Amino acid sequence: MTPIHIALAVLVAFIWGVNFTFIAWGLESFPPLMLTAMRFFFTAVPLVLFLKPPKFNRTLFVYAIGTFVLQYAFVFTAMHLGASAGLTALLLQMQIFITVLLAYFILGEAVSRKQIAGMLVGVLGLGVIALNLGGDMPLNGFICILIAAIGWSFGNIASKQVSKQTAISTTHQQPNVSTIASVNTVSNRTSALSALALVVWGGLIACVVLTLSSLIFETEAWQFATFTQASLKSWLSLGFIVYISTLVGFGLWAHLLAQNTASKVIPFALLVPVFGMATSVLLIGEVLTWWKMLAMVLILSGLILANVKIGVRRKPVIT
């Protein structure tokens, strides 16, 4: 990865880490599915009017459902049920291990022994949290976050596949470019726009699904008073979640995945729980216990072990 790509990856990790505190503030006024639906409504509107939609196929729907619907509906629900912002940020990073496994089976990216060892160490951290369920991490919240991690993992793989499809299409459409520099410039510009379009149009799909789900499961919340009585802090938090975490964060993340292998980009998410735990302690007073520190050390150690260069590629199972 280039230095600028590394810097962008760290920036995204910081944004996503701080975002858990803003989610907690947003949930003070809105129920989880409604808040998630509003997030993706404002993500999509009005940008869908200006961005060319990506190719509508199964991969796009897997990205939208996995990354947006499953991940955030269950993360928001877990925090609504009592899961703390810091622990949610930490536990959600199990998606990295799941993504590495999916990249092996779906994209054909090899998995090293160090990555396998890292996964085992990460599972030990998961076990520490499981042994201390209750309080900051209720059992139902724990289960919701694991489901969210699985959803995000499938979304990561789908994002990579959509980017590959776009790159192939762009190459075929640019036969007269005379220099390598020109090709790279066009490719990077196209990649950035397609990444943003992927987030926006994926958000539109997610908005429809989430709004219907909220109308079914949160019927009583759909009253005018819910919006008029919401605090300014919750509305500002929604703004951060929409424009900074979603549009900026996921736009950059999809762009990074388009320019690098998944095994190089995904491990940077190990910084998310560090930023998430730190900001939850500083801004909302979460208590940092010994077992939380142990779980963080184990999971982050596993993630560091998993952050090794993947060498030989095997034949892809699914293309």
Q: What is the pLDDT of residues 121-180, one digit of tens each?
A: 888 988 898 888 888 899 999 999 999 999 988 888 887 776 565 555 544 444 443 333
User: Amino acid identity, residue 109?
Assistant: E
DSSP assignment of 222-252: -SHHHHHSS-HHHHHHHHIIIIIIIIIIIHH
Per-residue pLDDT at 19: 94
Q: What is the dihedral of CA 85, 31, 66, 189, to 10 degrees?
A: -80
CB-based burial, 120-138: b 16+ in 10 Å, e otherwise = ebbeebbebbeebeeebbe
Which pair of tokens denotes residue 91? 């536990």
Q: Which region among 161-175, 189-203, 239-253 has the lowest average model confidence (pLDDT)?
A: 161-175
Q: Which region among 68-72, 83-87, 99-103, 236-240 has the lowest average model confidence (pLDDT)?
A: 99-103
CA 7 to chain centre: 18
Q: Give the chain's radius of gyration (CA, Å).
A: 19
Per-residue pLDDT at 243: 93
- Average predicted confidence (pLDDT) for the chain: 82
> 81 pLDDT exceeds 90?
yes
CA 225 to chain centre: 31
Per-residue pLDDT at 140: 94
Q: Which region among 59-68, 142-151, 154-163, 187-196 has the lowest average model confidence (pLDDT)?
A: 187-196
The three-state secondary structure class of 313 is coil
> 218 pLDDT exceeds 70?
yes
The span from the CA of 211 to the CA of 214, in Å, is 5
Token pair 């990856």 in the structure block, residue: 9
Residue 83: CB atoms within 10 A of its CB come to 26
Per-residue pLDDT at 317: 36
Higher pLDDT: 250 or 12? It is 12
Say if residues 296 and 49 touch (Cβ distance below 8 Å): no
Per-residue pLDDT at 155: 86
> 251 pLDDT exceeds 60?
yes
Q: pTM for this one?
A: 0.81
Token pair 């993706």 in the structure block, residue: 40
Q: Is 81 exposed, middle or buried (0-12, 13-18, 19+ CB in 10 A)?
A: middle
CA 110 to chain centre: 23
